[in-house]
Structure 1
């Protein structure tokens, strides 16, 4: 039924003569040029323009031009921005999103798809209750640690290291548990903070590391894969609901198409960008993931105790990881 509606919508848009866009929307994000975020947002914008026959134009603004993740969440509610692409910061919107901050809880993208298919109503409900609407999921990716102090093989190697984290309480708690000195900071400030020694290191997927050129100011990359974070193609609930039905259908359809594009692009970048980082002279090591998993148990216990329904969330996500 949905596919039929979308096909009808696209056909009706396609019958319109080429003209200036009737609706212009702004999509802000923190990704640097060449990042997975930039590729994701640009793909979404192009899809919306094409499927609406030019009726809807999505203008994209990267590199935190329209604000940090926290600022963009506020601007969505104020109607100053139409879309944002938050990731870890969503755990500050509602505790339920913190389940994706649990170390090693998501195995791979197929696992993430199963979680999305089975549990999206829960996440959408939490977003709606806070004034947001999730049009679809993209990704930030599997995160790894870079720093200027030493290679990180086990959690104890993080002791005393000043490590930038996103603004999400569970990432901070996780790295405190590992022995690091986590420092929440806007992504746009990280390069300078690394360059000047205000912080020793940071943790991000390869796509964010390479596009932000952290390899130019970091000595070590430790492949930990400690967290997989989805990114959310997010709008204001009030604003999305105010759009005509045909526009809402296109916005949702393009979000689904963009997720497929993003997953394929992310898989390509994981290989390409690791080579870019190595070529810059960064020393790379494979961390002892079993040691990190063992050290992560208290984080799961805290989440289960502090977030309503936390243990059930954890159990549901883990069970979907065991699906064939």
Structure 2
């Protein structure tokens, strides 16, 4: 990142940190012809919502006020599973959701979340902007919803705990660990010997604070913006999976927009994705020192040991059968042989 870009990024994050979380972030001066309700589960200070605000303003300007995108961050319209139902029915028009939670509705959507499949972001974007992403979007598009072409960045996920650092797979034995409501997440951590508990993101902080669970796993950007570090002591840099957010739309409500307005919205969402991806990547690189200053203790792990455990447990072979040969073949095109 050059000096100018870095200054712009730091300015963006400073503004985000001081901004209050709003129910509706963008509202034009006069009533729009078309209003799209966009929901997500992240705090208003997360790069997703900072960039979404820019995206909504761009759509309003380019449509000359004809399209208004109302932004509802931080689970304001409900948890992930509830909001997915609202999206399918058309009560919500736009929604950003992890592929793994989307897998509760479209099983093959989970393929990008297979443990230790991707080594770095170059690997991720090659897959998700390439054949693997195209395959998943086709599966999504066979339903009442669709996915825009560019997936947004969630980041590589790390494990935090309040009781002990995780250095080896055996350290997870018996640990009460929060995972999102996804069968893939649950099965992976069961294969590590943990006791995973599915908890919607809106309830994670309180579950950690009251010790209903000992730990959780999320990218550093979410650990920071959701202040999960306040109720955790250790952070193990496992990079156990990459997670993103498909920007989803309801087909019927989007189809009510005239073609020219559909193009404006589509371009704004896809082009903003590139900026949001880089924001999260930069946070991944810079947040460790901030979190350490806040008292979180970090440790590195041997990722190879975790991958061996999943191979030995049958995790990869089981999910190859569940997802099917086509999805698995496309994943291994980018990840290399997993089983």
- How does the TM-score come out when normalised to structure 2? 0.85
Counting only pairs closer than 5 Å after superposition, residues 114-153 of structure 1 correspond to structure 2 as 114-115=126-127, 116-135=129-148, 136-153=150-167
The correspondence for 1:158, drawn from 172, 191, 210, is 172
The correspondence for 2:305, drawn from 285, 288, 291, is 291
Give the 3-state SS of the residue equivalent to 1:163 in structure 2. strand
The correspondence for 2:55, drawn from 28, 31, 44, is 44
Q: Does 1:55 align with 2:66?
A: yes
Q: Does 1:172 align with 2:186?
A: yes
Partner of 1:112: 124
Q: Compute the displacement of 1:321 (Å).
A: 4.7
Q: Is the Cα contact below 8 Å between 1:156 and 1:178 reproduced in 2?
A: yes
Kindly provide the CA deviation profile for residues 192-248 of structure 1, in whole angstroms up to 9, marking residues without a partner as x: 110111000000001111111111110100000101012111011222223210121
Task: Tell me: CA distance 1:112–1:217, structure 2 relative to 1, closer, same or farther (3 Å).
Answer: same
Q: Does 1:99 align with 2:111?
A: yes
Give the 3-state SS of the residue equivalent to 2:164 in structure 1. coil
Provide the rounded CA distance (Å) in 2 between the counterparts of 1:119 and 1:194.
Answer: 35
Task: Tell me: CA distance 1:129–1:222, structure 2 relative to 1, closer, same or farther (3 Å).
Answer: same
Provide the rounded CA distance (Å) in 1 between the counterparts of 2:276 and 2:329.
Answer: 27
The correspondence for 2:256, drawn from 238, 242, 245, is 242
Provide the rounded CA distance (Å) in 2 between the counterparts of 1:26 and 1:193.
Answer: 29
Provide the rounded CA distance (Å) in 1 between the counterparts of 2:151 and 2:194.
Answer: 30
Q: Compute the displacement of 1:81 (Å).
A: 1.1
Task: Tell me: CA distance 1:248–1:275, structure 2 relative to 1, closer, same or farther (3 Å).
Answer: same
Q: Is the Cα contact below 8 Å between 1:109 and 1:263 reproduced in 2?
A: no
Provide the rounded CA distance (Å) in 2 between the counterparts of 1:239 and 1:74.
Answer: 15
Q: Is the Cα contact below 8 Å between 2:172 and 2:193 reproduced in 1?
A: yes
Provide the rounded CA distance (Å) in 1 between the counterparts of 2:259 and 2:265.
Answer: 10
Q: Does 1:75 align with 2:89?
A: no
Paired positions, count: 303
Q: Compute the displacement of 1:85 (Å).
A: 0.7
Q: Does 1:272 align with 2:286?
A: yes
Contiguous gaps of at least 5 residues in structure 2: 1-28
Q: Is the Cα contact below 8 Å between 2:112 and 2:331 reproduced in 1?
A: no
Contiguous gaps of at least 5 residues in structure 1: 1-17
Provide the rounded CA distance (Å) in 2 between the counterparts of 1:23 and 1:165.
Answer: 37
Task: Tell me: CA distance 1:219–1:120, structure 2 relative to 1, closer, same or farther (3 Å).
Answer: closer
Provide the rounded CA distance (Å) in 2 between the counterparts of 1:40 and 1:97.
Answer: 24
Q: Is the Cα contact below 8 Å between 1:93 and 1:130 reproduced in 2?
A: no
Partner of 1:227: 241
Give the 3-state SS of the residue equivalent to 2:44 in structure 1. coil
Task: Tell me: CA distance 1:48–1:107, structure 2 relative to 1, closer, same or farther (3 Å).
Answer: farther
- Deviates most, 53-62 or 155-164: 53-62
Give the 3-state SS of the residue equivalent to 1:281 in structure 2. coil
Counting only pairs closer than 5 Å after superposition, residues 12-27 of structure 1 correspond to structure 2 as 20-27=31-38
Give the 3-state SS of the residue equivalent to 1:92 in structure 2. coil
- Deviates most, 194-203 or 84-93: 84-93
Provide the rounded CA distance (Å) in 2 between the counterparts of 1:120 and 1:202.
Answer: 27
- How does the TM-score come out when normalised to structure 1? 0.89
Q: Which runs of 4+ in 1 moved over 6 A?
A: none
Provide the rounded CA distance (Å) in 2 between the counterparts of 1:208 and 1:176.
Answer: 23
Q: Compute the displacement of 1:272 (Å).
A: 2.8
Task: Tell me: CA distance 1:187–1:238, structure 2 relative to 1, closer, same or farther (3 Å).
Answer: same
Q: Is the Cα contact below 8 Å between 2:132 and 2:327 reproduced in 1?
A: no
Provide the rounded CA distance (Å) in 2 between the counterparts of 1:153 and 1:110.
Answer: 26
